[in-house]
Each structure stands twice: as structure tokens, then as C-alpha cells.
Structure 1
Amino acid sequence: MFTEKEMVIEKLTGVRASKKSYYTDLKATIAELEKKNRKLEILSEVAKGFQVTGTMEMSLQHILETIYELYPIDRVSLSLIEQGAMSLKSVYPLYEENSAVGMHLPKKESLYWKAIEHNMIVLHEWKSADTYTFVEEQTLSALNFHYACVIPLRIKTSTIGVLTFAAAERIECDQSDISFFRQLSDHIAVMMENARLYQEVYQGKKEWEETFQAVADLLILTDNDHRIVRCNQASYSFFNESPEAVTGRPCHDLLFHDTNTFCPIEESYHGESMKNYQMTLKNGRVCDIQTYPVRDGDGEMKGLLIYIKDVTARIKTEAQLQHSGKLAAIGEMAAGVAHELNSPLTAVIGNTQILQRSLTEEGPSKELAAAIERGGRRCRTIVQNLLSFSRPEKEESTECDVNIAVEDVLSLIGFQIEKENILIEKHYTPGLPFVQAGPHQVGQVVINLLLNAKDALKDSGETDKKIQIKTNVVHSSVVLEVEDNGCGISQSQKPSVFEPFFTTKRKQNGTGLGLSVSKDIAEKNGGRLMFTSEEGKGSAFQLKLPVHGGGDEYEDISH
């Protein structure tokens, strides 16, 4: 018969015991409760220590070290099922001499597959032998393991693999331990699934990032406040800016010179679709710009993706082709004119020479005949120069006397300039060394500079119109300067002066190609074309070309 006191003890402790065994049973019960609590703590520690971004070996090491105090396990491994086949993926600790990582496990005679097929935790012990029941026994025996606990890993209704604990000796387990292993496997399976999903998201993000950075053209993402969220590497290189200097900056500040410049970005924020523009950016490059609205899941605009392609080289090529086509057309016309004029000019010059020989006495008639001959020869020179400039053959010469090139040009367009009441002042340095460029190329630049100076004076209110032509030698370069006192160039227009198709003239008077082509000619011959200008006071353009065979030493003469 139990006493009333023993019944109270049973209710409090859950232990029916006599007075003699009371403390022994209570101690065992407390130990069991502590073990249960420790198991719960272990589950929590395993969850906290699972490395979502680390290696699976690190996670297995953490699992083994965490549960070792309750279960003296020597090895833990993970085998996963992929496309119906199972293979060993990770092991800790890894024994290099017999790791078997990557080994495929056949369904027949496999301890791991047995656990999966029966959806149960398998506790298996064996002895070393010449033959083995399961293929895993031989691998583990080679490492002196003779006991295994194989735990299926399940996600919802699918089994994704097994977690295996191996030990040298049998580990005693009761039903509570089996339950703990199942809870542990559920935790691990969920954590592995979370890690897989994380890796999928991370990999997707990484692939998009790599794609974003691989684009050779510029990609700029802005928010609704027009501030830059991010750019690809091509953008940082194009503007020569660091990510820190660009992020958070207004996009207009990065792209354009001032706030007065038309901003396509502003217009795109109010549109529903892609916009296309072609503009010159603050670094002088001509670019095609496309803007794409970026929207969130609710369809609300959250910013813009700006795509920018540098088309400066293409524009220059088109300009040169257009210029070449124009010259070709003029050349055809000039050839016809030259052919028509050369015959009568030959007759005029020849007949004048005959007339002079027939006039034996000096007098007004002989002087008049000589003047007619000189005029005819001058006309022939003008026709030949016109033909030379409009239809140049492939230049064999790579050297030129700049003074002579200027005089040849003036023979063509000097009268055209002077009839506008413009004074031409020439300040030549005699004995200039030859420059490293062909005569036609130098002449083409001189024509462009003189005609631009003439147009600048025509548009100015200056009464004392003047063009000064100066030549000089600066170290190993010859410098030609064409200066006018015309209308000058405004500060806002200066960055665009050498851009193809940029012109301040009326459409019928200019194509915007002259200075662009001239700059290309200078640079292709190792030289430079520079300018200084003050609005309302005039401009000065300097062509600097290296002396033929004189090296590449230059001195900047810009003001």
C-alpha cells in the first residue's frame, strides 16, 4: 500500500517509488529532463550555426561538434538525390585516403537507399568481413567505422537525401533518441532548402550583376529624384569617376555642362515608354541616349534605366564621308570648268605671246599685251589650284611649306574675302622648315580657317574688319595662326566647336564639318588644332604641325 505521502510524490514527480528508491528515481528523472532540454538546445544551436553562405563541410563540422556530447559520433556525411541518383556530397572529417566524395550509391544493396525506401531512421552495426551486406559497409570499414545511423532528409513530401552518422562502436539509442534524430533531420532539411533558395537568389543576382557590368555601353540607374543609384563599370570609365563620386549624384550633373542644357531624363519621367535622343555630353562625346522607365510590382515608376552609346567615332566617319562626297561633287564640276577654260586660256596666252613678238617697238600696246599674258597665266594657276583642292590625288608627299600652302589658298579665296571689305594681314616667318603633312591637307585646313574667319567678320558689327595670318616655329613644330576681330564664340558654344555638324552659321552657309575635319587632319599628322576666343572680340585658331623629321616635342601656345 502506498502512503498518502508517496502518492503526493508520484503526482509531483511522475515517479511511483518507495521511500527507499525515491531519490534514485528522482535523480534519473531529472537527468532525463536535462537530456531533453539539452537536445532542444542542440537543435537551436544547430540552426544558429548552419552556414547559409558557407561550405557544407563547415555546417557538418558544426553539427558533429554540437551533438558529440550526447552521441560520440566520429563522422558525419551528407548524400543527396539529384535526378533520381544519389551521391556522397560532403563529409566531415574528410579522410583524404578514402573520402569517397562524389561516389554514386547504387539502389541495390545500399543502406542509404534502404532508409529512403522505408522512410525510416536506420541504426546499423556490422563486423569487418570478406563480404558485406551493404556497399556502404566496405567504405566505412576501411575507416574503422562499424556503426551507422542513417537519417532520411525530407522537404514536405520529397526525400532529398540522407544524413549519416558513423562511429567505431555502437551508440545506444532509445525511442527518444530516434525522435531527436528525426527532429534534427527536419531542421537540417529546412535549413538546406533555405540555403538552396538563398543560393538561387544570390546566383541570379550575381548573374544579373555580371551581365550589367559586361555591357560595353553605359548603363545608369536613377531613382525618382533623378539621383544615380548605380552604374556599370563602363560608365565609371567613360566619365573617369569612382562609384563613390557618382552614387547619389544628380544624373544631369554627371551628363551635362549646366542646368540650362535640355535634359531628356526629365521628359522621360513623364512618359510611358522608351525615349531616344542624340546629345553631346559634358566630356564632348556625341552619344545616343535611350531611357527606359523602371516600375515596381504595382506598376508605379521607381526610376529610369539610362542606356548611353558613344557614337562619336561613327559621327566623325559619317562627317568625313559626307565631306568627301561634297569634295567629289565639286571636283567633278571643277574638272569640267578647268577643261572648258584651259583651251581658251591657252589660246589667249599663245596669241598674246605672238602679238608681243610682232610688236617690235616698246609702247603702250606691248605693255598691254604683256598684261594680258600675265592675267591669262594667273587664271590658269587659279584653275589648276581649284582642281587640285577639289579633286586631290592620293598624296605622295608627306611634307609641305606652310607659307606656300597659305599663298596657294589665298590665290583661290583671297578675292572672295577682300570683296567683303576685309583686310588680310600676312606675317610670315621666312625659311620655315617643311611640316610633316601633305600640301593638300594643309591647304584644306587653311581654307576652313579663313572661310570661318570671313563668316565671323560678316556677322559682326566691326567696321575695321581684319584677318591676320601668322606663321612661326615653336621648338620642333610649325605654328600657323589665323586670327580675326569678328563676333567671337560664346562660352556655351566653345565645348562644341570641333564636334561634327556643329555650326553657328545659317543652314545654307555651313555644314558644321570644316573644323571637325580640320582637327582630324591635324591629329592624323601628329599635330593639334586649338583656338582661343572672346565673344564680341574675335577668335584665333592655331594649327600646330611637327617639323618633317623633327621629333614630337610640342609646346602649348594656347592662351
Structure 2
Amino acid sequence: MKDAAQTRILAVALAIATLAACVLAVINLQRENGYEVPTDGISWIETTGGLRAQYVPAGSPGDRAGVRTGDVLVGVNEHPVARTSALIRQMFRSGIWGHATYSILRPGAHASNLNNTAKLDIQVILVPTDVSINQGLRFIALVYLSIGLYVLFRRWTAPKSTHFYVFCLVSFVLYSFKYTTELDTFDWIIYWGNIAAGALQPALFLHFAVNFSDDYKQPASRLRRRILCAALYLPGIFLIGLQCWAILYWSATGELRHRLDQISVAYLAIYYVTAAVVFQVRYRGAESALERQQLKWLTRGTLLAIAPFTLIYAIPYLADIHVPSLLTKLAGLSLVFLPLTFSWAIVRYRLMDVDLIFKRGVTYTLATGALVGLYFAVVAVTAEMVHARLPSLRTWGLLVAIVVTGLIFDPLKRAIQGRVDKMFDQRRFDYRETLVEFGRGLNSQTDLRALLDSIVEQLPQALLVTRVAVFLAAETDIPHPAPRFELAASHGLTNLSPAELKSIDVGFLDFDQPEANNHLFLENPQQVLRLPEMQRLTAARLDLNYYVPCLVANREGSGTRTVAIIGLGRTNDGDFLSSEEMEVLESLAGYIGIAIQNAQLYRRLEQKITDFERLKEFNENIVESINIGILAVDLDDRVESWNAQMEVLFARPRASALRQPISELFPADFVTRFNAIREEQGTHTLYKFRLALPSGESRVANIAIAPLVTRNFITIGRIILVDDITDRIQMEAQLTQSEKLSSIGLLAAGVAHEVNTPLAVISSYAQMLSKHMRDDERLAPVLEKITQQTFRASEIVNGLLNFSRTSGSEFASVDLNDLLRDTLVLLEHQLKTAQIRVETNFDPQLPPVHGNRGKLQQVILNLMLNGKDAMFGRPNATLRIATFRGAGRVLVRIQDTGAGIEREHLHRIYDPFFTTKTKPQEGGHKGTGLGLAVTYGIMQEHAGKIHVESEIGVGTAFQLEFPVSAPRPLVSPEIAQDPDRKTIHA
């Protein structure tokens, strides 16, 4: 009853303390958010004549105003400031974002005093004090409180659970209580609560580290431990007293506050480092695997939290070394690793699970109590005998009897203690603990292969057996009344070859029958006469004495089924397993069966996830690779899918388009059409819909809108297909224009053919008249000019007919000089009209080339016309045409002085339907983009090459290279080189 009452009182006290701490922390947070403290960001310290700037952080208000380290502040707003308290009062009078006039004395480089120093008035704009670190510290406080509550509710009766919760509650107070400097009654409560928590929290933590393992078995050891733990709190009590003394009796200066803060930080760092050292020492000396795992995480977590705090914050702060504020904040926030490490150790390694230690303590306490009782009984008997037999000795005789009895009792105590140790078989207890831990840890393993390897590795170590085998039931989607088992993993079966392991027949392992036992025992596996021949050979080869089924619940219906069977041989000493060991093994088989089933389910789930992801990726690849924009919208017209073609078309990434309404992505006319057909069934297509893009460009597209339905034909949205046909329409228009030009060419050829007849009549009559009037000095010259002009007109018409005449693919020897002259004759009038001067430089010894005259003339004509268009309206327009020879090559160079081609367009000029003449000048014409494409194809057909050099504002030069049709002696490079050729850099 007394213990129950104490427990209730303790629970009520902890609940009241927790509730009060939480309420005060919430109110403190609200008041801090509503109360801002002005600051100049400078660290001031008292000095002779005022306050000296000890540290001016870069970017602080004082730094921006021009205050430097070492400046002495003598006044603020014409009020003297001899101490930091006076400065703080003036700051509050100026207010946040207010202007404070600082009177500064700035000593020179070699000045020893401030007597002759000029006073500077500096305007400082005060800003709110940065308290962002407090929010991070409050997060640490919540972590501490959550972990403490978890441990308290889950393990209320466990040893040290109350101590651990008190440590977490004090840590919550330490990190959540932040006084605001209002210093009213509530602020004083917060202030002293933070001071008390700062003094108690390190001591509680070190106390927990010292008291973690209950290794104190003797009363003297427990007493020393209690004295040591009590002594741990003395420095904290001293710090609290120091704070009280400083407030009551010492002068409030900035230096005093700084020194007190340094003492508190040093106290915190020393205790934390000491706790880390204690954890490390206990970790190295721990014998239990569980305790080592607990201490490993506690040690590493403590070091991870303490090292940055000590190295980056505590040591520089104690040495007055200034560290950037960001690093100090990170160092302070690193303390969150301490409670997080505790939470991981609690969840993963059962930090508060000390039942085993408790049971051992009870055992040793009972044994020690019995020994102590026997000791005092012997002492009493001995004392009575001394008192009765030797009354003259009196008190001295009694003391001597006690000492002698104690000396005699020590060997007796050791003997009794040894008997107690033998009574409790420690080895068996440890092995049972290992089996239980192994069974509980199985469920955390999801890889079937690793799980089986772990089973066959740990079972021999735990049970000390020589042979272990695990048989798995074959996985089938359809339940089978008699499952087939296969050997999946083994240990110690070295007498079997891989072929024999595959050919074993374990049909005798059938535990799914109603009358089946909990396990199968074969006393002599070599002589199991009741089994068929193949199964008897299998049992002899395996040489396993025990077969234990791993049972799990059926997938459908009630009952159990066997998912695996564990086979075990004898122990290392050749003994059979005891009944107690078989009970533990049967319990462990249940854990193993569940673990195997979970691993199989996990593997099947992984396979299905892999198949699903592969199918999903395949479908996404199809959607992403198709050259049509595809998007899906839900019933609220929000975009759910947006493929790569839509990203290119709308120049909008997928992330910014998803979950956006289509009204924000598409133009209003499309949204109107979409809303008009949304209630209608079936697929609707908007043919040649002009779509205005966000970039300002307008594209023509065929847009299909169809309902998006599920397998159950339930409409869940709309799918929209956008097929951009702008380029196709432009291509069709260009092809139409090309057909029109072709028709015009045929018509011009027909007209030229018809013109030949009247030209022949005119030429005939003009020649006849010139013969009759050759003596007429006035008319003869006129008739001669008429005859010459008719010949010239006939040549032009014949050249036009030759060019328009459909020629086959016959190749012959072609003189490029004659071909160039004929082409110039065709373009003579156009070039004169455009005021273009033609300069020619033909190699008279130019060898012929093997090619088709009509196609080559088309190439030259295209290049000349492009040059004419490029020079349209430019002054001093010149078209230079030259032929020359190279090494086994014939070269033609056509160079203009036009506007040139943009560098980024040079690699596209041979693409079909690509043209730079989209906006021709007045008098020019729009290009089709086919001339250079046809030219390139003809040059490829003639095994030739075409090169282009162009510079904006200078001109363009095309150079054609043809292989010579017959070998001829080559002239020297100096003669072959065109003397008038001008180098143009592309």
C-alpha cells in the first residue's frame, strides 16, 4: 500500500509538473512573438569612460552604421552610457527601426588613451533581436518531451524510467523557456526556470550515464554510487547560488553576464563530454550484445551531438573567439541528435527493457539477504557466548567476537555464493535469451535468401548443434493439399554433393495432417524402416534427428499450413536436445514461419512492383516518345498528365503545368470550344484549329478531345491530343507554290517556242532587206542591228528552251565555262535591271566534267539567282564568277556582295523548305526553300561537293567541286589559284 501511494503521488507530481511546463512554454512562446527587443548587433563590454565594442559582426546594424571593433561608446542620444544596462534602456527608448545617435570615441593606431580623441556621432538603425535559434531549440524540447512521455507510458515500471522522464522534462524546460527581458513576474519565472533547468539537466544526464548498468551488487558499492550521484548535483546547485548572489549583491555589468554565461556553458560542455566518456567506457566493458548495441548508439549519438557543440560553440565562446552566427546556430541545433539517438535506441534496441537486469538483481539481492541474515545470526550467537562465558570482556569482547566472526564468515560467504551461481545455470539462460532475441529479430529481415542464411548460421550457435537444414514449401498460386518441400539452406551437410542435395525426397515431412505432431523425432536416421526406399535414403543422407514445422495461418479460411521445416542434428557433444530446448525451438519455429511468409510476400510484392513499374515506364515511354502533344485533365479541368511534346509546344515544364486548370494554359477560344463539347459523348476533333501559344506564336493543330474512362467505363476526365500541323501546312503551301512555278516554267517554255517562229520570220526578212539595201548608208546599219537583235533574241529563247526541256539522267562531257556563259545570257537582263555588275574569270584550260548539262545549269542558275536576291537594293553590287583547277578537281566559285547568312542558319540552308527570304524587300520575292536543297542533291549525284562561306554585311561565296572527266596535266598552284578570289570568313 505504501509503494502504491508513493507511485500515485509521484505520478500526480509528474503530471502537474509536465502540464505546468507545457502551459508556461506556450505562454512564453506567445509573449516572445509579441515582444521584440531592439539591438545593434554589437557585443559591448564595460571599459574606462564607456563601453568598448568587443565584436562587431559583419552585416549587423552597427557594422552598417560604421562602428568598428575597439570603438568606445560614451553616449546614446546625448545620454551617457557607462554600463550595458544604460545602453539597453536607450535602445528601448529609440525602439525597433528607430534611429539611435551613438557618441563614439575611436582610438588611433598608436593611441594609448582617449583624452585627445575626437568624438564621432553615428546614426544606428536598431533592428529586432534575432531569436530564430529559439524555435530550433523548442523543437529539441518537443523531441525530448515526446520521448520521455513514450518511455513513461510504455515502461512505467521499468527501472530508471522515472529518472529518464525527469531528465527529458528538465531538458524540455531548458530548451523551451526563453525569457524576453521584460522581467515582469512571469518573465522572472521563466528566467529562473531556465537557470534551474540549465543546472539540473547536465547533472541528470551524467547521472543517467553513470547509473545506466546496475553492476553494483554489494551494499558498499551501492552506497558509493549514491554518494557519487549526489555529488554530481553539487556544481549545479553552486551555479544556481552563484546566479542568485550575482543578482542580489554584484553590480549588473555586461562583463559579469558574459562570465556567468561562460561558466554555464563550460559546466554544460564538461558534463556532456564526461557522459560521453562514461558511455564509451561502459561500451568497451559491456559483455551483453544487447547492452553493447544500446551503448553503441548512445555513445555515438552523444558524440555526434556534443562534438559540434563543444568544438564550434563552447570552446570558442569560452576563449572569446568569435564564430559566424550560422555555425553557432548549427552547433546548437546539433544537440537534437541526443534525443533522436535515445529514441532510436529505445525503439530499435529496447533501451528501457531492463527486465533481465532486474531479475538478476532480485536473485543476487535474495542471496545477499540470506547471507547477511546468516551473518548477523552467527554474530549474535557468538556475542551471546562471549557475554555468558567471558563477562569480564564486556563491550570489547563483543567487538572482538564480531571481527573474528566476520573474518571466518568471508570464506563461508564465498562458498554459499558459488552454490547459488551453480543453482542458476547462466549458460542455459543466456542461450534461451539468444534464441528469443533471434526469433524477435527475424521479422525485420525481408530478404528471403539473407533470412535463410541467418537461420542456418545462428541456430547452430544458439543450440550448439552440428547440422541444420531449412526446407521450403514450393510456392504455387493454387493451394495444394500436400505441398512439396525443397532444401533451401543448410549448415554442416558436407557429406552431400550438390547433385544429391537436389535429388532428395522429403515426402515423409507432412505436418499438415490433422493427427500430425508438433515435431518429428528420428532417434536413428540411418534406420527408419517405416519409410519408402527413396525417403529412407534421404533421411540417412541428411542425418537429422529433429524436424520442426514452421506454421502460419492459411491464406483463406481457418487452420494453419506449413511454409518451412527446420531440421536439426545432435549437439556438439553428441547429445539429443532437451524438452525445454524443444519447447523453445517450437516457439521459435513460429517466428521463423511468419518471417519466411513475410519475406516471400515481400519478394512477390517486389516482383509485382517491378512489373508494374516496368509496364508504367513502358507506357510512359510511348506517351513521351509520340510526336503528338498529350494531356489529361480531371473532371475539374485540372491537368493530370503533360507529356514532353506539350512541354516543347507550350514551352512550359511538366511540374508547372500539373494541377493547373486548362483555362490558365490554353487560350480563351480553345477553352470556349472545350466547354461547349464537354457534356457531349464521343470523340470530338477541332480541325486546323489556330492555337495561340504563351510565347506569342500561333500554331495550327488538329485537336482531338475524348473522354478518359476506367475499366468500368466510368468517366474520370478528358484526354486531349494536340497534333501540330503548322509545318505540314507550310510544306503543302510551298509544294503548291512549287507546282505553280513549275507550271509557269512550262508555260514560259511554250511561249518561248512560239516566239521562235515570228523571230525566224523577222530575221529572214531583215536579212533579205539588208541584201537589197546594202548600198543604202542610212537603212543598212538599221537592218544589221535588227538582224543582230533577232539572233540574240533567238539565242535567249533557245537557252530558255534548253533549260526547261526535260532531260534524262544521261551524263556527258560538259564544259563548265560554256555552261556559265549560257546561264549568264539567260540572266543578263535581270542582272542589269538589278544594277548588278558581273565579273568573270574563267580558266581557258579548264578540263570538262562528266555530268548532266541541264542539272548542272539548274545548280548554277539557283546560286546566281540567290546571289541576285541577296544583293537586291545594295550599292556596288557585284557578282563574281570564276573557274579554276585543283588537284584532280574542277572548281566553280560564285561570290556575291550581299547581306550574308546568319551563322546559326548556315547548317540548315540545305534543308528542304528552309529559307531566309521569308520577308523579302520591296521588289524581291519570297523563297520556297527548295533551291539549295535541289542543288545539294544534284551535287551529290555528280560526286561533287559544295562549300559555303558567309559573313554578315560582306557577302556569301559558294564553291562547287567536280571531279575531272579525263586526266590532264595540272598547272602550278599559282596559276590554278583565282587571282581575284576574296577570302570570306564564315
The 8 Å contact of residues 39 and 180 in structure 1, kept in 2 or not, is answered as yes
Q: Name 1:473's counterpart in structure 2.
A: 885
Aligned equivalents of 2:784 and 2:537: distance in 1? 121
> Could you tell me whether the CA contact under 8 Å between 1:382 and 1:412 is conserved in 2?
yes
Q: How does 1:158-169 map to 2 (within 5 A)?
A: 162-167=563-568
Change (3 A) 1:213 1:269: closer
2:458 to 57, 66, 73: 66
Whether the aligned pair in 2 keeps the contact of 1:385 and 1:408 (CA below 8 Å) is yes
Is this contact kept in 1: 2:813–2:965, CA < 8 A? no
Paired AA for residue 927 in structure 2? G
**Is 2:190 the counterpart of 1:190?**
no
Q: Which of 538, 544, 549 lines up with 1:150 in the alignment?
A: 549
Amino acid at match of 1:36: R
Distance 1:378 1:544 in 2: 29
One of 576, 582, 586 as aligned partner of 1:174: 582
**Amino acid in the other structure paired with 1:538:** V
Q: Does 1:96 align with 2:498?
A: yes
Q: Distance in 2 between matches of 1:316 and 1:522?
A: 26
Give the match for residue 132 of structure 1. Answer: 531
- Of the three residues 957, 974, 978, the one matched with 1:541 is 957
For the Cα contact (< 8 Å) 2:917–2:926, is it kept in 1?
A: no
Deviation at 1:437, TM superposition (A): 4.6
Q: State the partner residue of 1:78.
A: 472
**1:127 shift after superposition:** 5.6
907, 916, 919: which one pairs with 1:503?
916
Secondary structure at the counterpart of residue 458 of structure 1: coil
Alignment CA distance shift 1:113-1:528 (3 Å):
farther
Give 1:62's aligned amino acid: S
Residue 385 of structure 1: aligned partner: 799
Given that 1:498 and 1:519 are in contact with CA atoms closer than 8 Å, whether structure 2 keeps it comes out as yes
Match of 1:303 in 2: none
Aligned residue in 2 for 1:410 = 824
Deviations for 1:509-544, whole angstroms, at most 9, x for unmatched residues?
A: 322333343334334544443333333x33122233
**Do structure 1's residue 333 and structure 2's residue 747 form an aligned pair?**
yes
Q: Secondary structure at the match of 1:115?
A: coil
Aligned partner of residue 550 in structure 2, secondary structure: strand
Report the AA paired with residue 162 of structure 1.
V
TM-score for the superposition, normalised by structure 1? 0.65
Q: How many Å apart are 1:406 and its aligned residue?
A: 2.0
Cα offset, 1:445, TM superposition: 2.6
For residues 130-177 of structure 1, the C-alpha deviation after alignment (integer angstroms, 9 at most, x for no partner) is 873698666555555565333235587697862233356676652221
CA–CA separation in structure 1 for the residues paired with 2:417 and 2:879? 127
CA contact (8 A) 2:510 2:516 kept: no
CA distance change for structure 1 residues 35 and 494 in 2, over 3 Å: closer, same or farther? same
1:57/1:361 CA distance change after superposition, 3 Å: same
* 1:458-515 alpha-carbon deviations (Å, 9 max, x no partner): 243x2x2222112222334333222222333445655554443332353653223333
Is contact 2:870-2:899 (8 Å) kept? yes
Cα distance between partner residues in 1 of 2:452 and 2:753: 95
- The structure with the largest alpha-carbon Rg is 2
TM-aligned CA distance change 1:546 to 1:189, over 3 Å: same
TM-fit CA distance, 1:110: 4.8
User: Compared with structure 1, are the counterparts of its residues 445 and 12 closer, same or farther at alpha carbon in structure 2 (3 Å cutoff)?
Assistant: farther
Q: Compute the RMSD of aligned alpha carbons.
A: 5.2
Counterpart check, 1:423 vs 2:423: no
Distance in 1 between residues matched to 2:814 and 2:615, nearest whole Å: 57
Cα shift readout 1:235-269 (whole Å, capped 9, x = no counterpart):
xxxxxxxxxxxxxxxxx9xx9xxxxxx98247994
Query: Do the aligned partners of residues 402 and 316 (structure 1) sit closer, same or farther apart at CA in structure 2, a change above 3 Å counting?
Result: farther
Identity %: 21
Q: Aligned pair in 2 of structure 1 residues 9, 346: CA closer, same or farther (>3 Å)?
A: closer
Aligned to 2:438: 42
> How far did residue 185 of structure 1 move?
1.9
Alpha-carbon spacing, 1:20–1:375, altered in 2? closer, same or farther (3 Å): closer
Shift, 1:39, TM fit: 0.9
1:315-337 CA distances to partner (integer Å, 9 max, x unpaired)? 99989966863553234323422
Quote the offset at 1:415 in angstroms. 1.0
- SS of alignment partner, residue 442 of structure 1: helix
Which range is displaced more, 110-119 or 496-505? 110-119
Aligned to 1:529: 946
Structure 1 gaps, min length 5: 1-7, 14-18, 220-251, 256-261, 280-287, 291-306
The whole-number CA distance in structure 1 between the counterparts of 2:432 and 2:585 is: 10
Which structure: greater strand fraction? 1
Contact preservation (8 Å) 1:115, 1:150: no
When the two structures are aligned, how many residues end up with a matched partner? 465
Q: Does 1:433 align with 2:841?
A: no
* Matches of 1:118 and 1:81, distance apart in 2: 24
SS in 1 for 2:474: strand
Shift of 1:361: 6.7
Query: Are the equivalent residues in 2 in contact too, given 1:61–1:92 (CA < 8 A)?
Result: yes
Deviation at 1:95, TM superposition (A): 4.2
Residue 424 of structure 1 and its aligned partner are, at CA, apart by 1.0
Task: Indicate if the aligned counterparts of 1:151 and 1:163 stay in contact, CA closer than 8 A.
Answer: yes
User: Residues 554 and 561 of structure 2 are in contact (CA less than 8 Å); yes or no, is this contact kept in structure 1?
Assistant: yes
Give the aligned residue type for 1:73: R
Does the 8 A contact of 2:526 with 2:539 survive in 1?
no
The one-letter amino acid paired with 2:460 is Y
Alignment deviations for residues 361-416 of structure 1 (CA, whole Å, 9 cap, x no partner): 79776665555454334333333332343453232116643323322221212211
Aligned residue runs from structure 1 range 250-269, under 5 A = 264-265=651-652, 269=656
- Cα pair 1:80 1:87 within 8 Å, conserved: yes
Counterpart CA distance in 2 for 1:189 and 1:373 is 109
Shift of 1:38: 0.7
User: Bigger shift: 121-130 or 494-503?
Assistant: 121-130
Q: Partner of 2:961: helix, strand, or coil?
A: strand
Q: Take 1:267 and 1:96, find their aligned partners in 2: how far apart are those partners?
A: 55
8 Å contact from structure 1 (residues 338, 383) kept in 2: yes
Supply the distance in 2 between the matched residues of 1:494 and 1:268 (Cα, whole angstroms): 35
Partner of residue 337, structure 2: none
CA contact (8 A) 2:738 2:928 kept: no
Residues 181 and 345 of structure 1, relative CA distance in 2, 3 Å threshold: same
2:899 is matched with 487
Q: Which has the higher contact order (CA 8 A, sep 6+)?
A: 1
**Contact 2:901-2:956 within 8 A present in 1 as well:** no
Query: SS of the residue aligned with 1:97?
Result: helix
Q: Name the counterpart of 2:930.
A: 513
Give the whole-Å Cα distance in 2 for the aligned partners of 1:408 and 1:32: 114
CA distance in 2, matches of 1:484, 1:92: 85
SS in 2 for 1:188: helix
1:313-462, aligned counterparts within 5 Å? 325-326=739-740, 328-352=742-766, 371-397=785-811, 400-435=814-849, 437-460=851-874, 462=875
CA contact (8 A) 2:908 2:914 kept: no
Residue 418 of structure 1: CA displacement?
0.9
Separation in 2, partners of 1:22, 1:441: 117
Q: Supply the AA of the counterpart residue of 1:60.
A: L
| One-letter amino acid matched to 1:37 | E
CA contact (8 A) 2:520 2:548 kept: yes
Conserved? CA contact 2:814–2:851, under 8 Å:
yes
